[in-house]
């Protein structure tokens, strides 16, 4: 009796709300992975028109390479996108927030090491190409205004502190070539 009642309630609830395909996706940025940034980005379609989507990219890099080279970070960039055709198809523009904690240095001949936090906003443009019903390739680039509060050190390993710094910076904050799975 209970089983039949639960099936009945499930059917009623299912018929009251339409089910849409491909309203949720999960992606990983291959450019980020190439720099050892472990990353994932879940997203969901907003509204009936399927022109808006909400995204929550998260990246983490705990690694220290040879010669104490590092780009360690934990970064979150929640954002919203407007799709010109429909979600997950062709061109879009986006706005997003940035929150990051970073520790890096000894990269590209830089003689300093940096440790700090950054917060800001950015805008992006991107393009999604469907490969099949469930898979897309997506390219995105963005620029942002960031408030950075950081400590600067001279020594790559031992850590003599040069000073505390902060300020606004206009920087490229997104560069991605992602593989996307659509649910």
**The pTM is what?**
0.84
Q: Which fold has domain 2-182?
A: Porin (2.40.160)
Say what the pLDDT of residue 3 is.
58
Task: Return the pLDDT at 157.
Answer: 63
What does the pLDDT profile of the chain (183 residues) look like in tens digits? 555 544 444 544 443 444 445 799 999 999 999 999 999 999 999 999 999 999 999 999 999 888 778 899 999 999 999 999 999 999 999 999 999 999 998 887 788 889 999 999 999 999 999 999 999 999 999 999 999 999 999 866 667 899 999 999 999 999 999 999 999
167: left (phi over 0), alpha (psi -120 to 50) or beta: left
């Amino acid at each position: 009796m209970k089983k039949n009642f639960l099936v009945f309630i499930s059917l009623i609830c299912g018929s009251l709300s339409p089910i849409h395909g491909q309203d949720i996706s999960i992606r990983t940025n291959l450019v980020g992975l190439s720099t050892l940034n472990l990353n994932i980005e879940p997203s969901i379609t907003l509204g009936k028109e399927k022109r808006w989507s909400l995204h929550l990219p998260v990246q983490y890099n705990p690694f220290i390479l040879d010669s104490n080279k590092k780009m360690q970070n934990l970064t979150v960039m929640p954002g919203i996108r407007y799709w010109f055709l429909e979600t997950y198809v062709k061109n879009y523009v986006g706005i997003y927030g940035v929150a990051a904690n970073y520790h890096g240095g000894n990269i590209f001949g830089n003689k300093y090491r940096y440790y700090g936090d950054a917060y800001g906003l950015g805008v992006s443009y991107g393009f999604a190409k469907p490969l099949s019903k469930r898979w897309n390739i997506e390219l995105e680039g963005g620029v942002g205004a960031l408030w950075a509060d950081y400590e600067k050190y001279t020594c790559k390993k031992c850590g003599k502190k040069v000073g505390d710094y902060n300020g606004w910076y206009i920087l490229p904050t997104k560069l991605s070539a992602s593989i996307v799975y659509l649910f």
